[in-house]
Amino acid sequence: MHDAVHSVADDGGVKGAADIIGSPQLIGAHYKRLVIFGGNHNDRCKNGVNAEFTVTGRSNDLDRYNTAVALGEEAKKLGIKINVKSAPWAECRIARNIPPNWSYGEADPIGVYRQYHSSQVDVNKIGNPSTYKNAEVDALLDKAILSANRDEANKLWQKALITSEKDIPSLALCSPQNVYFIRDGLQIPDFGKVITRSQGISIVENMNEWTWK
């Protein structure tokens, strides 16, 4: 699950993860399927198994933890019980059996590749946390990376996500905007290159070009 998907404006080409992962079509489809079977926790079960699971939230990041708590409250309306556990990042990042309230952001959709391509399993401990393997999705992601056409690449990224969502659904919870306070006189020029840093840190990428007026 993703509690924050930060997007950084580029030159109008490749869409950011917020545009692709958090599409209303994907989120709306999951919600509609759930709300039809709404009820309390005791009503929602299958083969004697209650609709109940645990989600971790970073103990040193109240935004992530509180977002998970809010999700749990909303899930009650659908008859789903979410147990929110506060845990250190060292535990949260090992997202094999217990899903974390994940916060990430990319200036491009490369995060999709890292989350769903089979080659990324266990890469840096957080690559492809669900150990998902689908040859069709791998092929779509490979084509998206190699494509020299932005529109074509965006369609491939989206198709890969839609295909993977059928197997391992995820939920984009929110996409907060970053707010920066800039001292009068500080001149920050436009980026002259592709942004590589994420989660709101991209603003410092050209710090060596900042000037005072």
d(C-alpha 141, C-alpha 119), whole Å: 11
CB atoms within 10 A of CB 40: 12
d(C-alpha 205, C-alpha 184), whole Å: 20
Which domains does the chain carry? 2-212 (3.10.105)
Q: Each residue of 126-182: pLDDT tens digit?
A: 788 888 999 999 999 999 999 999 899 999 999 999 999 889 877 777 776 778 888
pLDDT of residue 169: 77
pLDDT for res 198:
64
Q: Look at residue 122 and tell me whether its pLDDT is greater than 90.
A: no
- Say yes or no to pLDDT of 49 above 50: yes
Please name the residues in contact with 4: beta carbons below 8 A apart, sequence gap of 6 or more: 63, 64, 103, 104, 105, 174, 175, 176, 199
Mean pLDDT of 87-112: 77
The closest alpha carbon to 68, from 161, 178, 171, belongs to 171
Buried b / exposed e along 133-172 (16+ C-beta atoms within 10 A): ebeebbebbebbeebeeeeebbebbbbbbbebbeeeebeb
Q: How far apart are CA 213 and CA 206, in angstroms?
A: 17
For residue 75, the one-letter residue type is A
CA distance 60 to 82: 20
Q: In terms of DSSP bridges, do strands 186-187 and 211-212 run parallel, antiparallel, or are they unpaired?
A: antiparallel
Calculated CA dihedral for residues 158, 164, 165, 169, nearest 10 degrees: -130
Rounded CA separation 171/52 (Å) = 16
- Helices 150-165 and 24-35 pack at an angle, to 10 degrees, of 20
| Amino acid at site 67 | T
Global pTM exceeds 0.75: no
Residue 46: per-residue pLDDT: 79
Tell whether the model's pLDDT for residue 20 goes beyond 50.
no
